[in-house]
Structure 1
Amino acid sequence: MSDREFYCDTCESVQLFEVPPCPDGHGTDCPELACTGCGAAVLIATFAFQPTRLADRRRRSPAGRHAA
């Protein structure tokens, strides 16, 4: 098991959180954590965002535009 300290909203203090046994096979990398004080569960998630299409448009030079 892996242990981490986080603020628990239920306990209203910093508490030790542990990774419960993970049936999905994540092991210590499981995104689910449980407060050892009250048992409240939290989910730690990370997201990878792709650049938007608007960001691609800003990189293009205006030389490719045609006059009306």
Structure 2
Amino acid sequence: MSDRELYCDTCEGVVLFEAPLCGDGHGVDCPELVCTGCGAAVLVSTITFRPPARSRRRAPRPTHRHAA
């Protein structure tokens, strides 16, 4: 089991959290953690954002004015 210190909203302080035995096969990288103080569970997850696709609009063509 892995453990780390995190802020617990229920305990209102920094407390040791530990990963319970994971039934999903994550091992020590299990995203589920349990507060050792009160038993509150948290899910730790990383989120990856992709930058928005760049628009490939063409610049407007310059207009040529001709004398009349």
State the TM bucket, normalised to the shorter chain: 0.7 to 0.9
TM-score (norm 1): 0.79
Match of 2:49 in 1: 49
Amino acid in the other structure paired with 1:49: F
Distance in 1 (CA, whole Å) between partners of 2:13 and 2:50 is 36
Q: Secondary structure at the match of 1:5?
A: strand
Distance in 1 (CA, whole Å) between partners of 2:41 and 2:24 is 16
Distance in 2 (CA, whole Å) between partners of 1:39 and 1:18 is 10
Distance in 1 (CA, whole Å) between partners of 2:13 and 2:60 is 62
Match of 2:20 in 1: 20
- Tell me, which stretches of 5 or more residues in structure 1 are unaligned? none
Share of identical aligned residues, percent? 63
Q: Which runs of 4+ in 1 moved over 2 A?
A: 64-68
When you count helix as a share of all residues, which structure comes out higher?
A: 1
1:36 and 2:36 correspond: yes
Distance in 1 (CA, whole Å) between partners of 2:17 and 2:31 is 12
RMSD over aligned CA atoms reads 1.9
- Tell me, which stretches of 5 or more residues in structure 2 are unaligned? 64-68
Over alpha carbons, which structure has the higher Rg?
Answer: 2
